[in-house]
A and B are shown apart, each in its own frame.
Chain A
Amino acid sequence: MATSETTEQDLSIQRQSLRVWWQSGDPWIWLTSAAVAVSVTAVLGLVGLLAVNGLAHFWPSEVIAIKHESYGQQTTILGELSEREFIARRQFLEANPQYAGNVANTVERWLLKTGNRQIDPPDFRWVFTHDVVEQSVPTDVVVLERTEWGNAYGYLTAIKQQGMPLETSDTWAELQSRIARSESIREAIDQLQEDQISSINYEIEAIRLEKRRRQLDGVTDFSDLEANETELQAEYVLVENEVFRLTESLERDSLSLTLADGTETVIPISTVIQAWRPNQMSLRQKVGMYFKNLWNFLTDDPREANTEGGIYPALFGTVLMVLLMSLLVTPFGVVAALYLREYAKQGPFVQLIRIAVNNLAGVPSIVYGVFGLGFFVYLVGGTIDDLFFPEAKPAPTFGTPGLIWASLTLALLTVPVVIVSTEEGLTRISRDVREGSLALGATKAETIFKIVLPMASPSILTGMILAVARAAGEVAPLMLVGVVKLAPTLPIDGNFPYLHLDRKFMHLGFHIYDVGFQSPNVDAARPLVFATALLLVVIIIVLNLTAITLRNRLEARYRASIN
């Protein structure tokens, strides 16, 4: 098969006259090689684009102050430079006719992230470098990352407690300690809300359903439930009061910030997540902050309609869904392959089924989504609700998109991958091995469990990993069977039965679609989408590479042990 080795060496090209060279057809070979080059460039460029855009977001970049003049008016703005582009003079003049005459061929403009959305809404501004009068990098600029309204940029003037300015020698250290305090209080509130309030609510809901169930059974005695419910409600009031108390103490501090235009604004410290002064940070500090930001991105909940904060729930949902799916798909795929290869009578019928299974891998994923919605959600889920959860009606329990249906749908979508891969492995095991085992007195079952399956395990594993990689990247079917843009709770929590198969969940792929295309503030959300996309690509490439390496290694090992 070594085309290149034999043929090309023998035909090693001598320098030819131009005419001969053209006639030989070699230029066309160059064109075919260009096709490869284009494809490779596209793949590398794509991953590179994601990496650059996605990773840059976490860097605490420098904040610049720009004094610019337009329509004879001077304004100063503060912000991070997030994009620069060149536009043609003509285009520029169409939008800004007042410049006629003194414009270069192309005009440069900068997109600045100016934040402070609560004060003047668009948190991004375009500035023509043409208009810039003065540009500086003030060292004492403070950037605040906040729970609402996005970032704030300005100069810290004072810290206030109960509205009264505080006398401190080191305002910055004071600010950091107060942010830490508010952070710990916020955590305590979250703790209460997530653990206690949600579990009390969960129990109250369970009582409501139990009442309804008894009503349906004709029982009218609820005294035990009602006693329980009163107790829970009392408990709820206690926890709620504690939350109120904490919230009140959280609202104690505020800071005042002087903005670029000199006006002063007061920001409650309770809303500040972190504060930094990018223009006086050392490289080491920046690197430290970079990794902290990266970590927070992976472990935090999203904020502000998913355009800020982290992607933890989406990551969690993706992993959990994929795990459930592989639990479902592996045994079934292997059993089906074993049946096709070891037990079914080989003939045209089995061949037909094999082609059908093979082709199902090429059926559009959205078709599986439609099937999942109709069959699993409405038909199976609806029936389960009728039989087992009549008390919850008309609210559906399983008769609505959810985790279990998404996993099942994706299991169905990926089962051909596992079957094909396992079968391939089974075919490769030579007849001698099987017959040897049988000749030594093993039953067929023993041969399969002790000889065939272990030998086929690399292929099974490969199939499984490829299935996982495919499932992790699928979005279209999930949109129909259980993924939502924002799930209030994770599918695993501290309430019995801990794993809630009926809940809706978040997913990285859908997160990209939703934030990139449905969010109101695309400019602000874009870096996060890039970062999420990069994460997803990395996960999938790693899975694929693992599958390839694993296959090669195990294959080599088994080949060695057979020989």
Chain B
Amino acid sequence: MASYTLPKISDRRRWINVATKRIIGAGGVAVIAAILLIMGYLFWVILPIFESATMERLAVHQGLPIDVLAIDSDDSFETVTLIRANGAVEFRSAATLDVVNQITVSSSSWVEAKRVFPLTDTYVVRDTNDQLSFFRVTHQVRYIDLERSLIQRVERLFEASSFQLPENTEHFDAFRSDEDLRIVARTIDGTIHLVEFEEVEDDFELEFPDENDITGPQGDYYTFFGPRGRFLYDVDRKSGAFRLLLVPSVMRPRIVQTASFANQGEFPTVITPLLGRHSLMVGHDSGMVVQWSLTSSASGSILRPIRSMSFEEPIATLVSEHRRKGFAAISKERTAFLAYTTSNRVLAEIELDKPPQLVAFSPRADRLLTYNGSTLSVIGIENAHPELSWRALWGKVWYEGYEEPIYSWQSSSADTDFEPKFSLTPLLFGTLKAAFYAMIFAIPLAVAGAIYTANFMSAGMRAWVKPGIEIMAALPTVILGFLAGLWLAPIVEDHLTSVLLCFIFLPIGILLFATLWSRLPSRVINSCDGWSAAILIPVLVLLGWLTLSFDQTLANLLFDGDAKSWVYTTVGLEYDQRNALIIGIAMGLAVIPTIFSIAEDAIYGVPQHLVHGSLALGATRWQTLVRVVLLTASPGIFSAIMIGFGRAVGETMIVLMATGNTPIMDLNLFQGMRTFAANIAVEMPESEANSSHFRILFLTALVLFLITFIFNTAAEIVRNRLRTRYGNL
């Protein structure tokens, strides 16, 4: 524009001119950048999902006591807890390993310390006299004058009671639930000694246990409780032979499976339970680790191999995380691997200095502690989303306890017994299913409507119909959803027969009416030409009303009186009140205006000389429409359908309100689904920021974004090309 500038322009005006240019430029770029930021931000949030885990040696501390039986740390990794053979629990600063607190629990010496299953803060120790004692270690955060401090406590449990292990006990395990305490001890001669105390409370003396001895095979057996204390694993560490016992009460144990983790002649290198003890991890000489899980079968739960992971080196030690189904595996060659079962991933590895005697995760699994007589190494772990991988998100996953690999979405938060299941496939399926049924309903109505409005409707009526249907596009979907869920769904359920028959009766009825109409005198036909849509409204209402009021008669005639039970017994389809049929109708209505408006534009824009030429050559109106108009406008109609599809895919409120929101994979017209959009609306408010769940929901938002963006762009390109083509015709 410089050439237009006149010489006499004042400084002030020039300044305003330049400032405007700058401000508009900056503002414009900023707005456009902000819009594009959306996509960038969604990417940025989901990026950590695909970051690989890292392990890094943070510190090696020397000069620790050599009599440590167990190591642990508090939740935020401020103190390290050492349980020592001298009967003391020692708390050391995690940074310096200086003693901050030492609590002597017992005057006798301990030989073994282990956690009480399934609690993470309760220990059971065995002393030199084979007596067991229980205690709980807690770390409480206190604020004193706004200064944060950690207070360590050690609480003896069942102090008044004594627990004597039988002589020659080789191995023992303890289980504690809200009601009962169970102890199992295995002696050298193969006797399994089971003890159970009922109605246990921490501070009470425990009395009158149920006790039962059963005999088992001799050998290097290792016996421990499984889930809920109702299972007992009896495993030969050397040969891999195992027995699975069901223990509803200790007095009635029952063997449900006898098998071996290894082939004849092979010896497992390690057998360790995973968090929750639904699975056992079995290491083999080849470096393979196989996950055996309790899976349901005809004869109850039995152990079956569900997954194997390959490490290059044979694994000697395996330790499970406290809150997830991940584990660390340390090979005989001292390599520490970090792995995750559900996603079947080996995530990271690091070389250790010495083979460790004790290995433990910090509760948040952000540190791995390895202890080797007087030396403690702290390994830092960055491993935020090990359970996610492309395959775990989209493929079938074999979860613990399931009969076979499945697609499943259950995002409730994890505990030791439950693992969240993040398969996106059911959601994608639901999204497409909802969009599919909506499109089946919407395409014929919208496209046929567009054809009629553009070609045959009188100008007077068109001036009303077009804006009318476009206003329909602005109707809040929450209202459509509300009507669909609370008004339409019960009506359809009660009048299923007639609703289904409407799809047949209405077209037939209209054709009949048209035939009769064509018998009217030409004068009438011609004067009403272009208004047939208006004439049909009362006809439709009447036909619909008739069909609905003869619902019971029709049902008696066709479906033995009840369409719902007929569908279930004869076709085998279950009926939910809020189902895909409702969604098809409600969401169909929501996308009709979108498709209608764009398709109508495309058809209306077909150059008139083509139409005239065709009619002049003797083709009927219908022939002209099908062979000339539709053919020319087809790209436009196609792009209208794509944009409509994009809208159906992302629609939230209708699906949220008019389906049961159950993530099932079933094409059944009479069942619901859960879509990406509804899933976000349901789960996002409760999702913890930056958790795996949160990032997956972002991923689904990104998927939605990309689907619609791609469809809309494609449609836009098609339309642009069509515009040029119309110009050239």
Contact = CB atoms under 8 A, between A and B. Distances in A.
Interface residues of A, number: 119
A475 interface: yes
A39 B600 CA distance: 14
Contacts of A33: 452, 456-457, 532-533, 536
A18 to B, nearest CB: 7
B486 A522 contact: yes
B13 A31 contact: no
B482 A364 contact: no
Interface in B20-67: 20-21, 23-25, 27-29, 31-32, 34-38, 41-42, 45
A359 B709 contact: yes
Given A32-B456, A339-B28, A364 B476 contact: no
B689 A378 contact: yes
A359 B475 contact: no
Contacts of B570: none
Contacts of B17: 443-446
B459 interface: yes
Contact of A443 (B16, B45, B446): B16
A443 B14 CA distance: 8
Interface stretch (A42-50, A171-179, A237-245): A42-50
Interface stretch (B189-197, B251-259, B406-414, B641-649): B641-649
B631 to A, nearest CB: 15
B681 A476 contact: yes
B518 interface: yes
Interface stretch (B163-171, B175-183, B381-389, B505-513): B505-513
A1 interface: yes
B454 interface: yes
Given A366-B704, A516-B485, A343 B28 contact: yes
A221 B532 CA distance: 84
A375 B459 contact: no
Contact of A548 (B36, B467, B514, B677): B467
B440 interface: no
Interface stretch (B90-98, B213-221, B276-284, B651-659): B651-659
A179 B637 CA distance: 64
Given A36-B465, A444-B21, A540-B476, A29 B621 contact: yes
A209 to B, nearest CB: 14
A469 interface: yes
Given A5-B459, A39-B592, A479-B681, A30 B32 contact: no
Interface stretch (A9-17, A74-82, A125-133): A9-17
B547 interface: no
Interface stretch (B261-269, B355-363, B519-527): B519-527
A426 B562 CA distance: 61
Interface string A65-106: 000000000000000000000011011000000000000011
A5 B530 CA distance: 10
Nearest to A342: B24
A88 B495 CA distance: 11
Nearest to A472: B476
A419 to B, nearest CB: 8
A344 B16 CA distance: 18
Interface residues of B, number: 133
Interface stretch (B151-159, B235-243, B604-612): B604-612
B526 A13 contact: yes
B342 interface: no
Contact of A415 (B6, B31, B472, B646): B31
Contacts of A536: 476, 478-479
A331 B23 CA distance: 12
A7 B613 CA distance: 11
Given A43-B468, A50-B479, A363 B708 contact: yes
Contacts of A31: 448, 507, 510-511
B676 to A, nearest CB: 8
Contact of B652 (A34, A335, A366, A371): A366
Interface string A367-393: 111110111001000000000000000
B390 interface: no
A340 interface: yes
A412 B685 contact: no
Nearest to A439: B4
A200 B514 CA distance: 74
A464 interface: no
Interface stretch (A19-27, A254-262, A294-302): A19-27
B557 interface: no
A27 B698 contact: no
Given A15-B521, A359-B716, A513-B482, A4 B32 contact: no
A4 B540 contact: no
Contact of A34 (B476, B507, B589, B705): B507
A544 B472 CA distance: 10
Contacts of B716: 355, 358-359
Contacts of B35: 356-357, 360, 412, 415-416
Contact of B657 (A24, A339, A367, A513): A513
A87 B537 CA distance: 28
B453 interface: yes
B36 A18 contact: no
B650 A4 contact: no
B477 interface: yes
Nearest to B648: A364
A381 B9 CA distance: 46
B552 A339 contact: no
A38 to B, nearest CB: 6
Interface in A333-358: 333, 335-336, 338-340, 342-344, 353, 355-358
A144 interface: no
Contacts of A3: 454-456, 604, 608, 611
A473 B38 contact: no
Contacts of B647: 362, 364
B469 A39 contact: yes
A463 B477 CA distance: 20
A402 interface: no
A185 interface: no
A516 B486 contact: yes
A11 B621 contact: yes
Given A343-B24, A362-B643, A367-B38, A38 B445 contact: yes
Contacts of A88: 552, 555, 561
Contact of B533 (A36, A369, A476): A36
A11, A32, A474, A509 pick with most chain B CB within 10 angstroms: A32
Interface in B516-554: 517-519, 521-522, 525-526, 529-530, 532-534, 536-537, 539-541, 552
B622 to A, nearest CB: 2
B615 A517 contact: no
A40 B608 CA distance: 27
A24 B515 CA distance: 12
A373 B487 CA distance: 32
A4 to B, nearest CB: 5
A13 B522 contact: yes
Contact of A366 (B457, B689, B701): B701
B612 A7 contact: yes
Contacts of B651: 364
Contacts of B701: 366-367, 370-371
A49 to B, nearest CB: 7
A-B interface, 7 closest residue pairs, ranked by CB to CB distance from nearest? A364-B650, A339-B28, A25-B622, A473-B476, A35-B448, A476-B652, A445-B20
Interface of A: 1-8, 10-16, 18, 21, 24-43, 46, 49-50, 87-88, 90-91, 105-106, 215, 331-333, 335-336, 338-340, 342-344, 353, 355-360, 362-371, 373-375, 378, 412, 415-416, 419, 438-439, 441, 443-446, 448-449, 466, 469-470, 472-476, 479-480, 509-510, 512-513, 516-517, 522, 526, 529, 533, 536-537, 540-541, 544-545, 548
15 contacts: A8-B530, A15-B522, A31-B507, A38-B506, A39-B449, A49-B487, A339-B29, A364-B650, A412-B35, A441-B8, A446-B13, A475-B653, A516-B485, A526-B486, A533-B483
